[in-house]
Structures are given as structure tokens and as C-alpha cells.
A and B are shown apart, each in its own frame.
Chain A
Amino acid sequence: MKKSLIVLSIIALAASSLFASGEKETALQEGLTFSNWSGSEESSKEIFKWMIDSFNENQPSENHVVQINWPWGDTESQLALRAQGKEQYDIAQIDIRMLPALAGAGVLADLSDIFGESFFSDNFAPGSISVGNYNGVQYGVPWTVAPMGMIVNPQILKDSGVDFDIVTIADFEKAMEMVKNNHPANNDSDAGNDILPFAAMTKDGGTCAPDFIVWLWTFGASVFDENGNCVLDSDEAIETINWFKSLSDRGYIQGAMGRGDARTLYKEGRVAFYNDALLAKGAITNETFGSIETYAKPQVNPVLNEGDTPKASGWGHLLVIIDRSPKKAEAKAFIEHLISEDVALKYFDEIGMLPSKKSVLNSNEVKNDYWSNSWTPILDGGRLAETAGQNYSAYNSIIVENLQAVLSGSKTSEKAAADMVSRIENL
């Protein structure tokens, strides 16, 4: 009996510790949280630390910013989960393609109420403002906004005898053919230094589908029509798929190519063309090749017919405030700090992230920079991928699986297109 009582008491103590907690509701924590992915990446963690420290120096401790990092791919789900979990979150860095899902889920605050309407029109170009707007509500402050472009290696083109501008699809195909057949590295016995004409994305849905959608637009096709019906089986869409398959058949592109793989190969001087955002500068810089102008030239995507408007995938980062944040005024101050001239120019200087604020964009430092100048012609015309939204990952997976089936020969373009439509409509 005595032994039973002792054991019972120990178990009761242990069990009670499981249920012991502080106050019923989560206490308001000191400071603000700034969640992001860039602050953990090797190329940008130092500048992020500086941006936060420089803000905190001039703030009382209760308004100090603390950063929380997670990988880019987890941002959307983490923000949504934590918003549901009632943790205090204040400011976040998000990718523009995450905006529809997060705004639709009610996670984000209306920034017009916090910053005032005129703040946006006074400080940003209409194109930049629009990427932070969803269904007429301004949720995001544009931090860096620039469409994806085509990065071209002028040295490889020169060594292959390409001496014309790449304007149309026909020019693009001709240039790829010349790289494939004429470049000296492709004519020796060592397959380990072969030059890939075009490192097109073919590996995963997150990169392949948005890039392929740009080619759909180039050929006059789209994923959805104005009524929201999937039209991936249109004649223009099938023509695009056939064209993409022909690039593979001719050896201009290859399978299992992700953005990271393309950047690595480009940095080694083994790719002539690939698509990327302006932040690629940090990933492809290779000082052994000399100045970046000699091996990396951003340009617009080729068009189907001369005179067409080049198409591009929208890309960028937004700063958002979480709707449940009890410190919206303080969050506003931090965002204003991040986009201020000194901070934005240092961010630009360190890793090439183009500022969005008009006054900073017009500064001499930005205008005189080769990389940002090369990107200026690309700045207009970026569109968010049509698959952005709640079903982003599912739509992209459907597109990339069927594209891979066409490239491997498992399906014809017509069958793949029909399957894409069927699966998207049945989601």
C-alpha cells in the first residue's frame, strides 16, 4: 500500500508537469519578429544581420527586431501555420508568388491602412505596386521586383561564332545550334567540359512550370482563359510543347536540370543561355573569368515574331505585415528602414538586389552598375505565373510531369496536353 502510494504520487507529479503552463494566452513578447529565408543564406546573411542591427541600434529594446529563418520553399506553409497557431509574427519577407495564397488565407494586413494610400504611389512605380496587390488590396511593399530574364554568356557565343543579336525564337535556335556544333569544347573527346546550349528547367515543378509558362505566352498560349478554364490543349500550347521537345531532340536542353544545377554549370562556363532572376549575380560570379560583363549578359526572352513584346515571369520579394501583429506601427518603421536609401543601396551593393523605391532606383550608384543597367530593359512586362495561388504546387507538378513525359517520349504532345487539362480540372 505504501509502495503504491509512493508510485502513484510520482506518476501524479510527472503527469501534472505535462499540463503545467504559463498564462492561458500567449504573452506579448518583447520586440518584433522578422521572418525570412535570405537571412540564413550564405550570400546574404551578413547584410541581413547588418540591416537588423542598424535598426535596433536606434530603437528601445521592446521594439528590437529578431529574425526567424526558414528555407524559401517552407515560407508559405510556415507563415500560414504560425498564423493559425496564434504565435506573434510581425514582418515577413515573401516571394511574390506566395501573395495570392497568403492574402487569400487572411494572414496579411492591408498596408494601405498602415502606410496610407499615397505612400505607394509616391514611392514606387505602378508595376512594382501591382505585384504587392491582390484583389484590389495592397498587402506587400515591393522590396526587389524584377522579372526573370535570360542570362547569356557572350564569351561562349563568340567562341561559337554567334555574331548576331538574339531577338526571335529563330535567332535563339540558330545560336543554340551554333553553340552545340561549333564550340571547341563540344568537339573534343572530353565529355566532362561539354557546353550545354540552353539550361532550361526540366527537373522540378517550382522552376520548370513557371519558366515553361513564359514560353507558352511567347507562342500565344496560356494555362487558363479569361473564364478560368484550362486551355493547355490549345493549338498554340501544343505547338509550344512540340517546340520544347524539339530542343531536347536536338540536344539543346537536357533533363534533370534545376535552377541550382543551371547556376553551377553557368558559373563553370558550361552553359550559353539560362533563365534566372537578377539575384543570380551572386550565384554565377566567377572571378577567374574576369569581369562579369564578359560572361553574363541579362537580356529579354526571345519573341516568336519580330515586333512582339518579350514575355517574362514576374519575380520579386515583398515585405508584408502579419494581420495579427500587435505592433503594426513598429513593423512599418522597420519596413521603412529596410527600403531607405542607405540600407537599400548597401543591400544592392552587397548582393545586387535592385531597390524598388523610385528615389533609390534613380541614384547614380544603381544607374552606373552594369548588372542593374542590363536589367533595366527587362523591368517592364513581368507577369506572375498563372498557376500562382492555392493550387500552385499541384498545377506545377501536373505541368512538369507531363512535360517530362513528352521529353522522354512516353507521351505525345497532344496526349500530354489533354492529360494536363484533365488533371487540372479534376483537382
Chain B
Amino acid sequence: MKTISKNSTLMAWFLVLPALLIFALMILYPFANSIFTSFTNKNLIFPKNDFVGFENYIKLFKDPNTLPLLFTTIKFVFFSTICPFTLGLIWAILMNEKFKASEFMRGLTLVNWIIPGIAIGFLWNWIYNGDYGILNALLNKMGIIDSNIIWLAGKQTSMVAVVTARTWQMFPWYMAFIMGGLQGVPNELCEASRIDGANNIQVFTHIIIPTIKPVLILILILGTISNLQHFDLINVMTDGGPERATSTFAIEVYKKAFKEYNLGRAAALGVIWAILLGSFSFIYLRNLKEDN
């Protein structure tokens, strides 16, 4: 018995070893290396790599741009999660009604999600362009504006622009998940509550939402994590500008490492970013454990 159990354990280790090796090489080693780099003055161009202790972290905390960076990241993540979530929820409820073209509409909606982020960024860049964008052309034709608005030059308007693009990209993903949850809502419950006199809003808030709540929490957490990591749309549309109004951790780490060549400072920023990401991942895993 003992020998069989020992063999099974050994077999299990052999089977997970390749995955563990890949994890160690692709995730654990680079992460540990980044933490180490954050304590050095490593530079991409110049071959220097001296241990400088907490200097990078001190400079980051003394930098007047660090706190605004955190607030901008939170602002982007919050709106880029809530807006597509809300739109996805409304759209999922509509698509769940099974009208004549609902399956076709569902498929069409998913196209947004399939298009690469870079392409979406260029598309929205064109829409928002101050001089030849179609948004200004439309508003001008409707008589709403008489001179062009430079959408991507304003601090508030540029954030609205990137959040709109992100919402357009991601609401199909939220819709797909929510629809899966809605399929699991028992029709009998809804019918029974309507017989008891509940209106649509009461059915939605007292039956549907509580039933799909685990799905909603899951996608909100995953969406937040995804937006905390997001890079391509902002990079293409505004590159973090104007005046850092759309600069998130992802953009800032990229700029520090590959534009300013300051790998030490970029790694320090990356560690702070990882702690932020890690906290949301911890919430997700705890939520998963509670569900199980």
C-alpha cells in the first residue's frame, strides 16, 4: 500500500515537473530578477549594474508624479471596468430575450472583442482626431459644434476617449459571461414571482441579480485585473499624455524601461504595480475559495 502510494506521489511529481520548470523559468525567475533589479541602477544602454539599495524606491516616493500616477491608474481601472460591465449587463439582458435576430446580434457584438487592441486604438484615434476625425465631422454636421474640438489634447477628454475605446473593446466579454449566468436563472422562479405580483425591476433585483451574483463578482475582479495590466490602447491613442492625464502603471513602466532606459527605476515601479495587481488576485482567489 505504502509503495503504491509512494509511486503515485512520484508519478505526480514527474507529471507536474515540466509545468513547474516552465513556471520557474518564465514567471518566477523574471519576477525575482525584477525585484533584484529594482535595487540596482541598471541601464538598458550603459552596462552599469550597481547595488543602490532603496534609492529607486525613495526617488519614486519623492517624485511628485507618483501619486498622480496611482490616481490616474485607479481612475482608468474604475471607469474601464464599470462602464463595459454596465453596458455588457444591459446588452446581455437584451440578447437573452431571444428575439428574431438575437443570435446574429450576439455574434456581431463579439467582433469588437476579437479585433486586436492596437487596431482598436488606431480606429478610435481616427474617430477622435481633432482635424479629420469623424466625431468632429458628425458634430459639425449636426450643428452642435462650429469649430473642431481636439479631443486627445484635453486632460479630461483624453481619459474619456481611452475609456470609451476600452468600453467598446471589452463590453462583449462582459456580455458573454453575464449571458452564461443568465442562462442559469430558473424561469420558474421568475414566473412564480411575477404571479406573486413582482414587476420587472423587482424580478431583476431580487431574483436575477442574486442568482448571477457569483458571475458578476468574478468578472468584476477579472476585469479589474485586466485593466490594471492594460497597455496597448493607451499607448496608441495618447501614450500617457497629455500631461500624463492617461498615464497608468503599464505605460510608465514601459517608458521608464524602454524610452528612458532606466531599468532599475522601471523595476521598482513594476514591483509596486505587482503588489497592486497581487492584492486584486488575492481577492479573486479568496472569492474562488469561498465559492468552492
Chain A contacts to B: CB under 8 angstroms: 1, 3-4, 7-8, 11, 14-15, 76-77, 80-81, 84, 101-102, 104-106, 189-192, 194, 196, 202-204, 254-256, 261, 264-265, 268, 270, 390-391, 393-394, 397, 400-401, 404-405, 408, 410, 423, 426
Contact A11 B147 (CB under 8 A): no
Partner of B18, one of A11, A106, A254, A401: A11
B46 to A, closest residue via Cβ = A105
Is B145's beta carbon under 8 Å from chain A?
yes
Contact A410 B243 (CB under 8 A): yes
**What residues of A have a CB within 8 angstroms of the CB of B21 in the complex?**
15
Rounded to whole Å, the gap between the CB of A396 and the closest CB of chain B is 9
> What DSSP secondary structure best describes chain A's contact surface?
helix
- A385–B255 Cα gap in the complex (Å)? 20
Is B106's beta carbon under 8 Å from chain A?
no
Stretch of B29-37, B148-156, B170-178, B191-199 with 4 or more beta carbons under 8 angstroms from chain A: B148-156
Is B287's beta carbon under 8 Å from chain A?
no
Rounded to whole Å, the gap between the CB of A243 and the closest CB of chain B is 19
Stretch of B87-95, B216-224, B257-265 with 4 or more beta carbons under 8 angstroms from chain A: B257-265
Rounded to whole Å, the gap between the CB of B8 and the closest CB of chain A is 10
- A264–B129 Cα gap in the complex (Å)? 12
**What residues of B have a CB within 8 angstroms of the CB of A77 in the complex?**
44-45, 258, 261
Rounded to whole Å, the gap between the CB of B177 and the closest CB of chain A is 35
- A102–B45 Cα gap in the complex (Å)? 7
Given A256-B150, A390-B46, A261-B131 contact (CB < 8 Å): yes
A10 to B, closest residue via Cβ = B14
Is B132's beta carbon under 8 Å from chain A?
yes
Contact A8 B130 (CB under 8 A): no
**What residues of A have a CB within 8 angstroms of the CB of B129 in the complex?**
261
- A204–B255 Cα gap in the complex (Å)? 12
Given A80-B45, A204-B239, A11-B17 contact (CB < 8 Å): yes
Contact B136 A408 (CB under 8 A): no
1/0 per residue, CB under 8 A from A, across B235-275: the answer is 00001011110000000000100111110000000000000
Contact B241 A404 (CB under 8 A): yes
Contact A3 B11 (CB under 8 A): yes
Apart from the given pairs A190-B140, A194-B147, A203-B241, 4 other A-B contacts in the complex at a CB distance below 8 Å: A1-B7, A202-B153, A270-B131, A401-B241
Is B15's beta carbon under 8 Å from chain A?
yes
Contact B150 A101 (CB under 8 A): no
B146 to A, closest residue via Cβ = A191
Contact B242 A191 (CB under 8 A): no
B47 to A, closest residue via Cβ = A84
Rounded to whole Å, the gap between the CB of B262 and the closest CB of chain A is 8
- A204–B137 Cα gap in the complex (Å)? 25
**What residues of B have a CB within 8 angstroms of the CB of A401 in the complex?**
241, 243-244
14 contacts between A and B (CB under 8 A): A3-B11, A77-B44, A80-B44, A80-B45, A105-B45, A190-B140, A192-B136, A254-B150, A390-B46, A393-B255, A397-B255, A401-B244, A404-B242, A426-B62
Is B26's beta carbon under 8 Å from chain A?
no
- A256–B145 Cα gap in the complex (Å)? 19
Rounded to whole Å, the gap between the CB of A188 and the closest CB of chain B is 11
- A64–B59 Cα gap in the complex (Å)? 49
Contact A8 B147 (CB under 8 A): no
Contact B150 A408 (CB under 8 A): no
A204 to B, closest residue via Cβ = B239
Is B10's beta carbon under 8 Å from chain A?
yes
Given A8-B14, A191-B145, A192-B140, A256-B7 contact (CB < 8 Å): no
- A202–B241 Cα gap in the complex (Å)? 10
- A2–B194 Cα gap in the complex (Å)? 65
- A423–B62 Cα gap in the complex (Å)? 11
**What residues of A have a CB within 8 angstroms of the CB of B255 in the complex?**
393, 397
Rounded to whole Å, the gap between the CB of A118 and the closest CB of chain B is 32
A398 to B, closest residue via Cβ = B65
Rounded to whole Å, the gap between the CB of B17 and the closest CB of chain A is 6
Rounded to whole Å, the gap between the CB of B83 and the closest CB of chain A is 23
Rounded to whole Å, the gap between the CB of A68 and the closest CB of chain B is 18
B14 to A, closest residue via Cβ = A7
Rounded to whole Å, the gap between the CB of A34 and the closest CB of chain B is 21
Rounded to whole Å, the gap between the CB of B221 and the closest CB of chain A is 33
**What residues of A have a CB within 8 angstroms of the CB of B131 in the complex?**
194, 196, 261, 265, 270
Contact A256 B136 (CB under 8 A): no
- A61–B145 Cα gap in the complex (Å)? 64
Contact A255 B150 (CB under 8 A): yes
Contact B46 A7 (CB under 8 A): no
